[in-house]
Structure formats: C-alpha cells, structure tokens
C-alpha cells in the first residue's frame, strides 16, 4: 500500500512539475497594439526614456522577442543577457527585444526596471511599463500566475510562446527561449 501511495505521489508530482502556464497570445495569433512608457534600455531605438507609445507598433514587421516579467531577479537577468546576445548577433536581421515590467504599482515598476537595466548592463533591450501595468494589456491575456511570459513574433504573428510560473525559469528553459528567438531570423 505504501508503494501505491509513493507511486501516486511521484506520478502526481511529475504531472505538476511538467504542467505549463498558458499566458499571452499563442502560436499563430497576432500581437495587437498596446501603449507603454519606455523607461530604459536600447538607446538606439529612437525612443526617449519617458515617452508613451506603442512599442509593438514601433517594431513593425521586425522579428521581436517580447517579454512580460513580474519581478526582476537573477534568472530574468540571465534570460535577458542571452536574448541580448542574440539581438547583437542578428543585427543584420533586425532582431529586437523589449521587456514589459508588470505589477500593481506602475511608478515602482518604472524605477525598478531602470535600475535593473543599469545594474545588469542590459543595453540592446528596451524596458517598458504598459499602461495596463497590473497584468499587461487585456487583449494579450498575460496570466496572473505567469512570472515570465516570452512571446517571439515576426510581422506581428506569434512564432513561439514560453510562459513560466514563479521559480520555474531554469537554464534549460532559457536555452529553449533562445532557440526560439534564433528561429525568428532563420
């Protein structure tokens, strides 16, 4: 009987461990327009810090790795540094990236995003705060239980979507995101 309980615990634990969070537009869907305030990063994009605009619109038909993050921790820094390497490597293909910091207090998010970009030396990725700061634009359906959502799109059409619950962003998952971003420019 103990074996059955142990087996059930292993099976149940495995099912929970592999369960994915569904967040944001899915593969094949379009990323619509939404308004943000740029707060830091990518000085070469022609957008001044503090400007309110549709950054998604600014990217036009380019291949883009768009990130929604609820907290700025070391795993996010590691992910963004890897994405930044890809942006650097694929300048000719105009690969771009921007991070939407989301949460309850827009002003705190703006300050934290600017500090995070500076602290981690992230230069080629823009940091923005959506006007709908709590969960991002409602049309994009960013899940409240997703700590990080990464949407890779080209021409506005989603090519890959990766969403991670709090604490689940691992090195293997970072590698999968980087691989998806590379496919945008193949």
Q: Is the pLDDT of residue 15 over 80?
A: no
Query: What digits encode the pLDDT tens for the residues 76-135?
Result: 999 999 999 999 999 999 999 999 999 999 999 999 999 999 999 999 999 999 999 999
Q: Distance between CA 175 and CA 82 in Å, rounded?
A: 8
For 109, the 3-state DSSP assignment is: helix
Q: Is the pLDDT of residue 157 over 90?
A: yes
For 137, the 3-state DSSP assignment is: coil
User: pTM of this prediction?
Assistant: 0.87
Contact 99, 80 (CB under 8 A): yes
Helix (H) or strand (E) segment spanning residue 22: none
pLDDT at 179: 86
Q: Is the pLDDT of residue 1 over 90?
A: no
Q: Distance between CA 33 and CA 151 in Å, rounded?
A: 14
Q: Distance between CA 119 and CA 111 in Å, rounded?
A: 12
Give the confidence band of 14 by pLDDT, cuts at 50, 70, 90: very low
Q: Distance between CA 184 and CA 155 in Å, rounded?
A: 10
pLDDT at 3: 34
């Amino acid at each position: 009987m103990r074996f059955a309980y142990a087996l059930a615990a292993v099976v149940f634990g495995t099912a929970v461990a592999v369960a994915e969070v569904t967040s944001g537009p899915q593969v094949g869907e379009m990323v619509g327009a939404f308004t943000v305030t740029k707060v830091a990063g990518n000085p070469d994009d022609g957008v001044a810090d503090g400007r309110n605009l549709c950054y998604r619109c600014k990217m036009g038909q380019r291949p883009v790795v768009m990130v929604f993050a609820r907290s700025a921790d070391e795993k996010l820094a590691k992910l963004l540094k890897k994405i930044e390497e890809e942006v650097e490597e694929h300048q000719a293909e105009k690969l771009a990236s921007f991070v939407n910091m989301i949460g309850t207090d827009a002003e705190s998010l703006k300050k934290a995003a600017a500090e995070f970009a500076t602290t981690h030396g992230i230069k080629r990725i823009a940091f923005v705060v959506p006007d709908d700061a709590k969960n991002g634009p409602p049309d994009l359906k960013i899940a409240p239980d997703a700590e990080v959502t990464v949407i890779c799109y080209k021409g506005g059409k989603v090519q890959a979507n990766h969403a991670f619950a709090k604490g689940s962003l691992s090195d293997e998952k970072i590698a999968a995101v980087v691989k998806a971003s590379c496919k945008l420019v193949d």
